[in-house]
Amino acid sequence: MPDEMKADLWRRWRAGESTSVISRQIGKPPGSVFTVLKHHGGIAPGPRKARVGSLTVGEREEISRGLCAGESYRAIAGLLGRAVSTISREVSNNGGRDVYRAIAAQERALDRAQHPKQCLLARRPALRQTVLTPPKEEWSPEQIVGHLRLHHGDDPAMEISHETIYRSVYATRWKVIPRELCKRLRTGRPIRKNKHHTVKGQ
């Protein structure tokens, strides 16, 4: 699914549209829409950004044109004002002179640049353990937060919001909270439901 279509999907999901409505609007099967949503737990991922100082898509296009023209790495580096090693590494990491393509190289660079920050529960093992073992089964995140405030209100290391717990449950890429806990939540949903979400059009 193209990035533009995914962006439209997430915009519609945040606005509260159902998977069926989104499916009709973007021209994709409901199963494909749900797959994208479930992969991120129903929580829209942040925009992909290249690292500071990395090659731009324009520079990659210049590299591609230079390679097609048979220019050396040194000549291309001089044109872009980059180190020869930067050009050499860029081409080598993307298949070599014969198969280098600017758009494909840009996509790989954006993918490599995505290193999500560890969530709060991953950084605080004691807090994570407390959240994972509530006094009662099937407690909601709101109840867990209330329990923490009541019994650990004077400990800043034990502070957390219910939204942070929800994100840790549904954003599977963090792999901090077992899937079993998601099933124990009262909602029983596989993805985080937007507060504006309705079943209109289902």
pLDDT one-digit tens code per residue, 56-105: 999 999 999 999 999 999 999 999 999 999 999 999 999 999 999 999 99
Q: Could you report the per-residue pLDDT of 154-174, keeping only the tens digit for each?
A: 898 889 888 788 777 766 555
- Res 183: pLDDT: 62
User: In whole angstroms, how large is the CA radius of gyration of the chain?
Assistant: 23
Mean pLDDT along residues 134-163? 85
Q: What burial class does residue 129 get, using C-beta atoms within 10 Å of its C-beta: 0-12 exposed, 13-18 middle, 19+ buried?
A: exposed
- Res 201: pLDDT: 46
Q: Could you tell me what percent of the chain has a pLDDT over 90?
A: 30
Q: What is the pTM of this model?
A: 0.46
8 sits in which H/E element = helix 3-14
pLDDT grade for 202, boundaries at 50, 70 and 90: very low
- Res 61: pLDDT: 95
**CB 86, CB 77: distance < 8 Å:** yes
Q: Is the pLDDT of residue 194 over 50?
A: yes
